[in-house]
Amino acid sequence: MRTRRDNSSLIVQVPAKINLSLRILGRRDDGFHDLETLMVSVRMYDSIRFDLQESPLVQLTSTSLLPNEKPLPNDDRNLIIQAAQLLQRTTETRSGAIIHLNKRIPSEAGMGGGSSDAAATLVALNQLWELNLSQEKLHQLAASLGSDLNFFLDSNVAAICTGRGEIVTPVRVKRPLHFVIVKPQSGLSTADVFKHWTAHSSPETPHHDEIVQALESGGLSQISWLVTNSLQGSARNLSREIEKSLELLDQHDIVVSGMTGSGSACFGLCRSRKSANRVARKIQSLGVMESWAVTSGV
């Protein structure tokens, strides 16, 4: 997460994420799922401008910089508004904000764009409204909004996330990782994908110590073995585009392919930045789906 001042405005750039591994452990009594996932931040950014408003009104506008994206809601269906209103209720501040989102991270893709934007809102409005909430308090608020927000709050490059995703353990990455991302025109609802998950559809997945060892070694063959996703089976059942995306990636020069989060975006791990750029250009030229080359980092 990158924050800068522009006169009286606060501008925040927030990255996307890829789930290199995602292991669903089971359903919880509260309706959520226990999971264990390795998240990696990638350098694809939403940019959000925050301006102070003296009235308590919070206004959101957005511009999509992606083709074929559905318009985003600008009311309390949007996590940005939910995060701002949560801060207002928690602190009883009478301040408001005018917020504009430039959207580069695709929606309904499993790349954490909504969570990343909400985390940025907590950080930015804590500064803009001079609330002086501690990082610990921001983490508590983030966990109440969604499972992925805590990962983005501390600008982690990589972390193992457990619980329902809100317990974050940073992991050192020895070398930058280079990916090609492909995104079909249609997205997938996270709730729908989780609803269709069954335990018998989940592949065997690596555990904590194996993940840490692979990332610290930096060997692509070891890292490629981590790429598994318990939700891939249910996502495939909901969208044939998942299988097409993975097949398309596997036709090119990549180390391994996988689906991130609950989809619909898929990724290929590449040997170098040059290779990732080359593969992304080839796939984009086919005109069947959007493709980007990205590198790990915040």
Domains recognised in the chain with CATH numbers:
2-169 (3.30.230.10), 173-295 (3.30.70.890)
> Is the pLDDT confidence value at 175 over 70?
yes
Name 265's Cβ contacts closer than 8 Å, sequence gap at least 6: 106, 109, 110, 111, 181, 182, 183, 245, 259
**Per the structure block, which two tokens stand in for 276?**
């990732």
Catalytic residue chosen out of the listed positions 17, 46, 103, 117: 17
> Is the pLDDT confidence value at 200 over 60?
no
Catalytic residue chosen out of the listed positions 46, 103, 117, 148: 148
**Cα 184 to Cα 68: distance, rounded to the nearest angstrom:** 10
- Which pLDDT belongs to residue 204? 60
Name 191's Cβ contacts closer than 8 Å, sequence gap at least 6: none
- Which pLDDT belongs to residue 11? 98
Task: Write down the residue that tokens 């619909």 correspond to.
Answer: 264
> Is the pLDDT confidence value at 7 over 90?
no
Better-predicted residue by pLDDT, 30 or 136: 136
pLDDT band at 205; cut points 50, 70, 90: low
Residue 195 annotated in active site: no
> Is the pLDDT confidence value at 267 over 90?
yes
Q: How many CB atoms lie within 10 A of CB 27?
A: 13
The mean pLDDT value for 244-270 works out to 94
Report in angstroms the alpha-carbon separations of 71 from 16, 25, 48, 148. Answer: 19, 34, 16, 22
Stated length of the chain:
298
Binding annotation for ATP: 106-116
Binding annotation: 106-116
> Is the pLDDT confidence value at 164 over 60?
yes
- Which pLDDT belongs to residue 202? 55
Q: To the nearest 10°, report the CA torsion of 125, 131, 135, 138.
A: -60
Percent of the chain residues topping a pLDDT of 90: 67
Residue 148 annotated in active site: yes
* This prediction's pTM: 0.92
